[in-house]
Chains A and B, each alone.
Chain A
Amino acid sequence: MDAVQMLGITKQFGPLVANNKVDFELRKGEVHALLGENGAGKTTLMRILYGLYKADSGEIRVNGKTVQIHSPKDAIAYGIGMVSQHFTLVSPLTVAENIVLGFNPGLRLDPKQVNKNVDDAAKKFAIDIKSTSLVRHLSVGEKQRVEILKALYRNINVLIMDEPTAVLVPQEVDALFETLNRLRESGLSVIFISHKLFEVMTISDRITVLRDGKCIGTVDKKNTDERLLAKMMVGRETFGVQRDSEACSGKPLLKIQNINARDKKGLLALKDISLEVCEGEVLGLAGVSGNGQAELASVLSGILKPESGRVFLNDQDITHLDPQSISKAGIGRIPEDRHAGVVGEMTVAENLTLERLDEFLKNGMLDRKKIKTHAEAMIKEYQIKATPDIQTRKLSGGNMQKVILARALYTQPRMIIAAQPTRGLDIGATEYVRNKLIEQRDRGAAVLLISEDLEEIRSLSDRIAVIYEGRIVGILPCNEATEETLGLMMSGAKEVANEA
């Protein structure tokens, strides 16, 4: 009998269908990976199982019986525990206190007894942690172990782990996998959410792939490989547009040399990245999300300071310039998160001028006429459905993106950095943005296109670089970059000599 069955689960957030009739089955004593790109609906599905969200429709069965799970409390009662990406520990308290918090019968707390219970549990599950340590003294890996023990202490038999390796260094990942293996042997079922193919192939028995909220299929690890999984994960549409590819023909404009940078958590996100983007070409940077693309875009936009390495535009060192100077040096920037690229509460006209505000000032005063004329011209040229005075947050995603596009492109920059420029846009807006990028290339600008959409990368790029775990694992001319090669490279299974 299956430990958990989820049947026809559908969940909508406004117009977004996060889960679309998803079926998912978990056997007893297996590690079952839930694989998919960011936004594929993995976490939503598991949050429904753990009672954090309520499904719009669908059925959940635990040990064959249909159940209603309204809250995490219900879930725990049915033996389901979850360790989320962000830990929910109270750092000044001890490990034991954190573990019994909310699970201590009665008012009285006997520290000795509690410590002994927790130490016994740790021993039973072979989790290496001391009950009396203060949580704030623990490393990230140890904190995760506390979270796992906290779940196990509640007598669960299904453990959901949401991207548990995202915060860990490689040695800690090994330790985690050992723990999971032992738990599996003791009969626990584990759901392992991940978008990393390598990990999924290492730890799981079966793999369910989600894409765009739909269940693509469940496969046994024995019968699959990383190439097949990559295909399932990124889709297998045929690509309509194929471009003649040329090697870098113009002269190199943007030179990235040996960049190392850390992400917000302090982990090394970019490892010795070197790339060149030439005039008149689109260089596509492909990769599964979370492999360093966001950090690279931040470094190039002047938001994130690299630890080492240099960036040159022509021969100007722009490594340590602030965003304004980078913009003035001739780089047009389209940020990954468009809501972090415009101030939603400000008007369209204001957002169109803020980046180059000095051009719109007269003795420090706003030149309101010029600002308005500029906004009207941009709205017309970029077909933005808006008025200059409307608050930008009221625009649709596509129109908001056009505001950003207009701001980035009107100065005719020599270099354009476009991070996920069409994410979440409808077909019309996507088409528009892509055409604009090609237009820039054709007038001789260099374009760095960072995207998780393989179809987009393949139809727009002259050359394609692939990033995996913060490294460039290969650069290919577009015509050599088949979907399969890219999929393998994106999953870290294959490296290509950087010669193209």
Chain B
Amino acid sequence: MKLKYRLVRSPAPAWFSALIPLLAIVVTFAITSIFIIIAGANPFEAYYYFLIAPLTSKIGILEVLVKSTPLLLTGAAVTIAFASGYWNIGAEGQLYAGAVAAAYLGTALVGVPQPAAVIIMLLGGFVAGMLWGLVPAILKVKLSVDEVVTTLLMNYVALFFVSALLNGPWRDPVSNWPQSPTILANTMMPKLFPPARLHFGFIVGILAVVAIWFILSRTGLGMRMRSVGMGQEAARFMGVKIGRTMFITALISAGIAGLAGVTEVAGIHFHLIDAISPGYGYTGIIAATLGNLNPFGAGAASLFLGLISTGAQSVSRALGVPTFLADVVQATLLLVTLAMFLLRNYTLRRVE
């Protein structure tokens, strides 16, 4: 007798959900191998440098954590927004707003002791991010303007605003480069294991992940936020104030994204530059999605994405393939994971 199988629309068994990240990685590497071969390298060797090599040395591991730091923050920002039904695509712009605040405070906090200065920097960045997220949030709540569009467009406004600052009033008077003056030593994020670059911002990132987990799963506000994200109509019926809840969500999310700007300015670059973020705000969306909007999932995804981007540099050094291979891997991983999430709704049934 010949056996036939058919995909049926019913939830896949629980073990499949657990396997998704692993399967997604395997499939992604199968697909991206094609590009690696085109680039003239051996895929297995390439993946050794991509995934294993960065973890073989202490300095490599610390570098992975450095790369993960902004992603932990933008990932957390996007996760709390998406989980609450507010589609904040504007983490990138909110990050830039936080970075501007850090660059300003970093030159203004003269003589403030470092612990206090760092806290003020973080608070300042949080508020700046919130302010940047305020306009789309108000438009959404008061006029139902689609936040996907407004938050996205605000990113470009932020980018050009920073560019205008750097080419105008904030241009470094010493070097004449389009970069802001170097921030004061007391406002820099302390290094965790000097001389490695890893800084206090990483701790902030981890705390942000824990904080959004706590808000979402342990507080009344978080329960209301989730209800808006998962069933707005029913939430309204049960008396949740949709507009108010979304507004709070938008501000928390934007604030956390603002923190990422602070950690990059005060932990890595020490001044504001145009390219302070190579798209961390967008990569945060990838992290949140890979983590299935679970805070710890997003955190783990951020670490993994940090590994890929560190690995891209080592693979490019060792085998001469372009570093933007990391972007290709990231994008492929996102698409494959989304496809896998879709598959969760199906099971394979045997038909006679």
Size range of the chain A interface in the assembly: 20 to 34
Contact between B239 and A322, CB atoms less than 8 A apart: yes
A208 to B235: give the CA distance in the assembly, Å.
41
CA of A324 to CA of B239, assembled, Å: 4
B212 to chain A, nearest CB (A): 15
Bound: A327/B224 CA distance, A: 17
A343 partner, pick from B218, B222, B230, B241, beta carbons under 8 A: B230
Please, what's the 1-or-0 string for A319-341, where 1 marks a CB less than 8 Å from any CB in chain B?
A: 00011111100000101000111
Q: Are B235 and A343 in contact, CB atoms less than 8 angstroms apart?
A: yes
Point out which of B223, B227, B239 has the most chain A C-beta atoms below 10 A from its C-beta: B239
> Which one of B219, B224, B241 contacts A354 once the chains associate, using CB atoms below 8 Å?
B224
Q: In the complex the two chains form, is A323's CB within 8 Å of B224's CB?
A: no
Please indicate the chain A residues that have their CB under 8 angstroms from the CB of B218 in the complex. Answer: 365-366, 368
Residues of chain B at interface, number, CB under 8 A: 20
B5 contacts the other chain (CB 8 A): no
- A357 with B224: in contact, given A343-B231, A365-B218, A365-B219 (CB under 8 Å)? yes
Q: Tell me whether A126 is interfacial, beta carbon within 8 Å.
A: no
CA distance A358 to B239 in the complex (A): 11
Q: Does A350 reach chain B (CB closer than 8 Å)?
A: yes
In the bound complex, residues from chain B placing their C-beta under 8 Å from that of A366 are: 218-220, 222-223
Shortest B333–chain A CB gap in Å is 25
- Of listed A327, A333, A346, A351, residue having the most chain B CB within 10 A: A346
Residues of B within 8 A of A340 (CB): 231, 233-234, 237
In the complex, which of the residues A341, A354, A365 has the most CB atoms of chain B within 10 Å of its own CB atom? A354
Asked if A170 lies at the interface with its beta carbon under 8 angstroms from chain B, I say no
Given contacts A342-B231, A345-B230, A346-B226, contact A357 B237 (CB under 8 A): no
What 0/1 readout, one digit per residue, does chain A (292-308) give for beta carbons within 8 Å of chain B? Answer: 00000000011100000
**Shortest CB–CB separation between residue A99 and chain B, in angstroms?**
31
**Minimal beta-carbon separation of A54 from chain B (angstroms):** 16
Proximity string of chain B (210-248) to chain A, C-beta cutoff 8 Å, 1 when within and 0 when not: 000000001111111011001101111111110000000
Q: Which residues of B contact A339 (CB under 8 A)?
A: 234
B222 to chain A: closest residue by CB: A366
How far, in whole Å, are A324 and B219 apart by their CA atoms in the complex? 19
Instruction: Name the A residues within 8 Å of B233 (CB-CB).
Output: 340
Output the nearest chain A residue to B235 by Cβ-Cβ distance.
A343
Contact present for B221 and A354 (CB under 8 Å) = no
Query: In the bound complex, do residue A346 and residue B219 qualify as a contact, i.e. CB atoms below 8 Å apart?
Result: no
Q: Cβ of B227 and Cβ of A346 under 8 Å apart?
A: yes
Confirm or deny: A364 has a beta carbon within 8 angstroms of a beta carbon on chain B: yes
How distant is the Cα of A161 from the Cα of B256 in the complex, in angstroms?
53
Query: Which residues from B are CB-within-8-Å of A368?
Result: 218
Interface centre among B219, B222, B224, B227 (most CB of A within 10 A): B227
For residue A333, give the distance in angstroms from its CB to the closest CB of chain B.
Answer: 7
A343 to B85, CA, bound (A): 13
Question: With A364-B221, A365-B220 in contact, is A303–B237 under 8 Å at CB?
Answer: yes
- Contact indicator B227/A343 (Cβ below 8 Å): yes
Chain A contacts with B in 352-379, Cβ cutoff 8 A? 354-355, 357-358, 360-361, 364-366, 368
Q: Which of B221, B231, B233, B235 has most chain A Cβ within 10 Å?
A: B231
* CB closest chain-B residue, reference A328: B239
**B231→A346 contact, CB < 8 A:** yes
Cβ contact of B238, chosen from A323, A360, A364, A365, cutoff 8 A: A323
Report yes or no: B235 in contact with A354, Cβ–Cβ below 8 A: yes
Cα distance A365–B234 in the bound complex, in angstroms? 22
Residue A51 CB within 8 A of the other chain: no
Would B220 and A323 count as touching, CB distance under 8 A?
A: no
A364-B219, A366-B220 are known contacts. Are A343 and B239 too (CB-CB below 8 A)? no
Assembled-state Cα–Cα distance A302/B241 (Å): 12
Minimal Cβ-Cβ distance residue in A for B221: A364
A301 x B231 contact (CB < 8 A) = no
C-alpha spacing A324/B244, complex, angstroms? 14
A326 vs B230: C-alpha distance when bound (angstroms): 23
B141 to chain A, nearest CB (A): 15
Q: Which residues of A contact B241 (CB under 8 A)?
A: 322, 324
Q: Give min CB distance, B316 to chain A, whole Å.
A: 42
* B239 & A327 in contact (Cβ 8 Å cutoff): yes
With most chain A CB atoms within 10 A of its CB, the pick from B218, B223, B231, B237 is B237
A103 to B230, CA, bound (A): 41
Scan residues 106-120 of chain B and give those whose CB is less than 8 A from a CB of chain A.
none
Expressed in whole angstroms, the Cα–Cα distance for A364 and B220 within the complex equals 6
**Which chain A residues border B220 with CB–CB below 8 Å?**
357-358, 360-361, 364-366
Point out the residues of chain B lying under 8 angstroms from A345, CB to CB.
230-231
Minimum C-beta distance from B244 to chain A (A)? 11
CA distance A350 to B237 in the complex (A): 14
Taking CB as reference atom, which chain B residue is nearest A355? Answer: B238
Q: Is A397 an interface residue (CB 8 A)?
A: no
- Bound-state CA distance A419–B112 (Å) is 64
**Which residue in chain A gives the minimum CB-CB distance to B228?**
A343
Question: In the complex, what's the smallest C-beta–C-beta distance from A421 to chain B, in angstroms?
Answer: 15
Contact between B240 and A354, CB atoms less than 8 A apart: yes
Residues on the A chain within 8 Å of B240, using CB: 324, 354
A303 to B233, CA, bound (A): 9
CA distance A363 to B50 in the complex (A): 47
A344 cross-chain contacts in B, Cβ below 8 A: 230-231, 234
A350 to B231, CA, bound (A): 13
Determine the chain A residues whose CB is within 8 A of the CB of B221 once the complex forms: 364
Using Cβ atoms and an 8 Å threshold, which residues of chain B touch A350?
223, 227
Task: Give Cα A340 to B234, complex, Å.
Answer: 4
Tell me the smallest distance from the CB of A426 to a CB of chain B, in Å. Answer: 21
**With A354-B224, A365-B219, A366-B223 given, is the CB distance from A323 to B230 under 8 Å?**
no
Q: B226: nearest residue on chain A (CB-CB)?
A: A346
A325 to B222, CA, bound (A): 21
The distance in angstroms between the C-alpha atoms of A342 and B234, with both chains bound, is: 5
Do residues A301 and B237 form an inter-chain contact, with CB atoms below 8 A?
yes
What residue in chain B is nearest A353 (Cβ atoms)? B223
- Min CB distance, B282 to chain A, in Å? 26
Proximity string of chain B (275-295) to chain A, C-beta cutoff 8 Å, 1 when within and 0 when not: 000000000000000000000
> Are A341 and B234 in contact, CB atoms less than 8 angstroms apart?
yes
Q: How far is the CA of A358 from the CA of B223 in the complex (A)?
A: 11
Q: Which residue of B lies closest to A356 (CB)?
A: B239
Closest-by-CB residue of B relative to A338 is B234
Contact call A333/B223, Cβ cutoff below 8 A: no
| With known contacts A346-B226, A354-B224, A365-B219, A323–B234 Cβ distance under 8 A | no
CB distance from B144 to the nearest CB of A (A): 15
Query: Complex Cα distance A342/B223, Å?
Result: 13
- On chain B, the residues within 8 Å of A365 by CB distance are 218-220
Q: List 26 A-B contacts (CB under 8 A).
A: A323-B237, A323-B238, A324-B240, A327-B239, A340-B231, A340-B234, A341-B234, A341-B237, A341-B238, A343-B238, A344-B230, A344-B231, A345-B231, A346-B231, A354-B223, A354-B235, A354-B238, A354-B240, A357-B220, A357-B224, A360-B220, A365-B219, A365-B220, A366-B218, A366-B219, A366-B220
Q: A322-B239, A364-B219, A368-B218 are in contact. List 12 more A-B contacts (CB 8 A).
A: A303-B237, A323-B237, A323-B239, A324-B239, A324-B240, A343-B227, A343-B231, A345-B231, A346-B230, A346-B231, A360-B220, A364-B220
Binding site for B on A (CB under 8 A): 301-303, 322-327, 333, 335, 339-346, 350-351, 354-355, 357-358, 360-361, 364-366, 368
Closest 9 CB pairs of A and B: A324-B239, A343-B231, A345-B230, A323-B239, A355-B238, A361-B220, A340-B233, A354-B238, A343-B234
